[in-house]
């Protein structure tokens, strides 16, 4: 018999999306998915674990090849309905070495051993009576069963399939294996629990643990994004110069080096976020003008991801008021709120007028010890917002992406701009206060924890509402 964890054999004809469903529900992007029929020839068991504890298993099976011959064999040997499961078991035992029925035996063996049935069909193709052979065979196993109508092409034959499948399966669901987000996957797992009373409790536990794990992944991602932000906002580059050096080309090289270090660190952070969601092999596709393919240091990227100038000024003013308000609190109100007023003025002015220059150069040292030219840290007020906007969108796309979707990460550019304007105003102020602390060199302890917390809040929101024609 199968292990005590709920186990489901994903069955059906070749090339109907069985492996895609397994990859999605097992969160395993190593499951072989191919448009070539017959890619799966041997039943493959994939166990989904949380904290190394098995929670449920899915078995990817070959498709039916000779259902008519199989059903004929079964019908000749069963005297009553009660005999049918044992006759199916006899077929597997007697034919496991028969080359004609290798696929059927691989398909039926997990059912004989106690797995539930997920029967997959393509709702984009018309229903045909020939499918009834397969459905009748699955009835003979006596195992709990559900039908999933996958949508692979452009056609729509859902109603035909619902009518036919409803006669053989207690639960019929439409499930897009390629594009299903987290909520749809969780909903399907809960439906599995309805097939067998013994599966309900462990699957509900798995759902709760999945939600908790998702929350942990989001917080870990927030830390990766915070680490990248701190590095980018505090990074500087230096080079030693002699009196004969021409400063102008050195400045250009130094600025380019700073930008490249920040680019590389951002790419590294994005890959770590992908690894957190078990998408380590995911790449971004440059196809036209995809948002995440836009270089970090271009005007286009800053317009797409950062704050609009008006919002930058307002947010700077509000964060200045929030920081200044801390001074008023310490003075017990004796400042007559001058702290908040001055903080707002300086915050707004800094955001508005400091938004164009990326970073300043400074020369340090003297003639005896030699001079050192330094560029950075980045001073442009919109810079951290651009970084956060890119990280925000990237995280959402990765977090909602399932493991059957093997295409590269593609995001269409919309006419909408200033992605960070979509952040709720109160949260934007919290982020701005955290950014100000980092910019002032306070990026440890409580300040770091607060930065992670506000980024975690940001990741709960969906930036795609700001994007037309999103993924």
Tens digit of each residue's pLDDT (9 = 90 or more) over 20-57:
888 888 777 666 554 444 455 688 898 888 888 899 99
Residue 465 binned pLDDT confidence (cut-offs 50, 70, 90): low
- The label of the residue with tokens 């529900």 reads 25
User: How many helical (H) and strand (E) elements, i.e. helices and strands, does the chain have?
Assistant: 15, 9
Q: What are phi and psi of 206, to 5 degrees?
A: -60, -40
Residue 354 binned pLDDT confidence (cut-offs 50, 70, 90): very low
Q: What are phi and psi of 362, to 5 degrees?
A: -145, 145
pLDDT at 270 over 60: yes
Question: What pLDDT score does 366 carry?
Answer: 61
pLDDT at 291 over 70: no
What are the pLDDT digits (tens) for 54-101? 999 999 999 889 999 999 999 999 989 999 999 999 999 999 999 999
What are the pLDDT digits (tens) for 215-253? 999 999 999 999 999 999 999 999 988 878 888 898 889
Q: Could you give the domains of the chain? A: 7-195 (3.40.50.300), 217-466 (no CATH)
Give the other-Cβ count within 10 Å of 97's Cβ: 8
Between CA 112 and CA 90 the distance in angstroms is: 10
How many angstroms separate the Cα of 463 from the Cα of each of 82, 204, 223, 419, 421? 56, 30, 19, 7, 10
Of the listed ranges 24-28, 113-117, 157-161, 274-278, the least confidently predicted one is: 24-28
- The label of the residue with tokens 């400045």 reads 251
Name the residue among 168, 178, 173 with its Cα closest to residue 22.
178
Give the other-Cβ count within 10 Å of 414's Cβ: 15
Of the chain, the percentage scoring pLDDT greater than 90 comes to: 43
Question: What pLDDT score does 425 carry?
Answer: 87
More confident residue, 300 or 391: 391
SS3 171: strand
In 217-369, DSSP assigns E strands to: 237-241, 359-366
Between CA 2 and CA 327 the distance in angstroms is: 65
Mean pLDDT, all residues of the chain:
81
Between CA 223 and CA 218 the distance in angstroms is: 9
Relative to beta strand 7-12, strand 116-122 is: parallel
Question: What pLDDT score does 332 carry?
Answer: 36
- The residues facing 370 across adjacent strands are 366
H, E, C per residue of 345-406: HHHHHHHHHCCCCCEEEEEEEECCCEEEEEEEEECCCCHHHHHHHHHHHHHHHHHHCCCCCC
Provide the token pair at 384.
């951290």
How many angstroms separate the Cα of 378 from the Cα of each of 93, 153, 315, 357, 403? 70, 49, 19, 9, 37
What are the pLDDT digits (tens) for 12-22? 887 777 888 88
Between CA 251 and CA 358 the distance in angstroms is: 13
SS3 227: helix
Between CA 224 and CA 211 the distance in angstroms is: 20
SS3 275: helix
Question: What pLDDT score does 317 carry?
Answer: 58
Q: Tell me the mean pLDDT in the region 340-354.
A: 37
Question: What pLDDT score does 359 carry?
Answer: 82
Between CA 245 and CA 267 the distance in angstroms is: 33
Q: Tell me the mean pLDDT in the region 262-268.
A: 93
Name the residue among 409, 398, 396, 401 with its Cα closest to residue 460.
396
Question: What pLDDT score does 77 carry?
Answer: 93
pLDDT at 404 over 90: no
Query: Rounded to a whole number, what is the distance in angstroms from the first to the last CA of the chain?
Result: 42
Provide the token pair at 438.
């980092």
Provide the token pair at 322.
């929030």
- C-beta pairs of 367-373 under 8 Å, 24+ apart in sequence: 367/243, 370/240, 370/241, 370/242, 371/240, 371/241, 371/242, 371/243, 372/238, 372/239, 372/240, 372/241, 373/238, 373/239, 373/240, 373/241, 373/247, 373/250, 373/251, 373/254
Q: Are 213 and 50 in contact (CB under 8 A)?
A: yes
Question: What pLDDT score does 285 carry?
Answer: 46
Question: What pLDDT score does 41 carry?
Answer: 63
Between CA 462 and CA 288 the distance in angstroms is: 23
Between CA 253 and CA 375 the distance in angstroms is: 10
Question: What pLDDT score does 306 carry?
Answer: 81
């Amino acid at each position: 018999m199968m292990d005590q964890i709920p186990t489901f054999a994903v069955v059906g004809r070749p090339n109907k999306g069985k492996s895609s469903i397994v990859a999605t529900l097992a969160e395993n992007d190593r499951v072989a998915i191919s448009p070539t029929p017959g890619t799966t020839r041997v039943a493959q068991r994939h166990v989904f674990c949380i904290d190394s504890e098995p929670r449920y298993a899915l078995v990817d099976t070959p498709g039916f090849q000779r259902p008519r011959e199989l059903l004929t064999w079964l019908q000749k040997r069963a005297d009553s309905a009660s005999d049918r499961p044992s006759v199916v078991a006899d077929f597997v035992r007697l034919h496991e070495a028969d080359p004609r029925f290798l696929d059927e035996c691989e398909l039926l063996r997990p059912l004989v051993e106690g797995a539930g049935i997920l029967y997959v069909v393509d709702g984009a193709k018309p229903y045909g009576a020939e499918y009834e052979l397969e459905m009748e065979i699955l009835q003979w196993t006596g195992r709990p069963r559900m039908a999933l109508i996958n949508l692979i092409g452009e056609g729509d034959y859902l109603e035909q399939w619902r009518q036919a499948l409803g006669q053989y399966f207690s639960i019929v669901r439409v499930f897009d294996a390629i594009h299903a987000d987290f909520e749809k996957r969780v909903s399907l797992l809960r439906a599995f629990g309805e097939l067998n009373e013994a599966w309900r409790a462990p699957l509900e536990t798995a759902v709760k643990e999945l939600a908790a794990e998702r929350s942990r992944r989001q917080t870990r991602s927030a830390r990766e994004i915070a680490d990248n932000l701190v590095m980018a906002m505090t990074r500087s580059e230096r080079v030693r110069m002699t009196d004969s050096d021409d400063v102008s080309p050195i400045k250009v090289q130094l600025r380019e080096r700073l930008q490249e270090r920040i680019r590389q660190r951002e790419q590294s952070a994005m890959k770590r976020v992908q690894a957190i969601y078990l998408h380590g092999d995911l790449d971004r596709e440059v196809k036209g003008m995809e948002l995440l393919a836009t270089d970090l240091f271009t005007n286009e990227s800053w317009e797409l991801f950062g704050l609009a100038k008006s919002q930058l000024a307002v947010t700077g003013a509000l964060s200045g008021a929030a920081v200044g308000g801390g001074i008023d609190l310490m003075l017990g109100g004796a400042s007559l709120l001058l702290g908040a007023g001055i903080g707002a003025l300086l915050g707004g002015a800094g955001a508005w007028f400091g938004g164009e220059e990326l970073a300043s150069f400074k020369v340090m040292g003297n003639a005896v010890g030699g001079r050192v030219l330094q560029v950075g840290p980045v001073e442009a007020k919109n810079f951290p917002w651009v970084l956060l906007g890119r990280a925000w969108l990237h995280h959402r796309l990765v977090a909602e992406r399932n493991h059957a979707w093997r295409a590269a990460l593609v995001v269409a550019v919309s006419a909408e701009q200033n992605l960070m304007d979509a952040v709720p105003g109160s949260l934007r102020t919290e982020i701005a206060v955290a950014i100000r602390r980092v910019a002032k060199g306070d990026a440890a302890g409580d300040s770091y924890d607060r930065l992670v917390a506000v980024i975690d809040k940001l990741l709960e929101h969906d930036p795609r509402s700001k994007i037309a024609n999103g993924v």
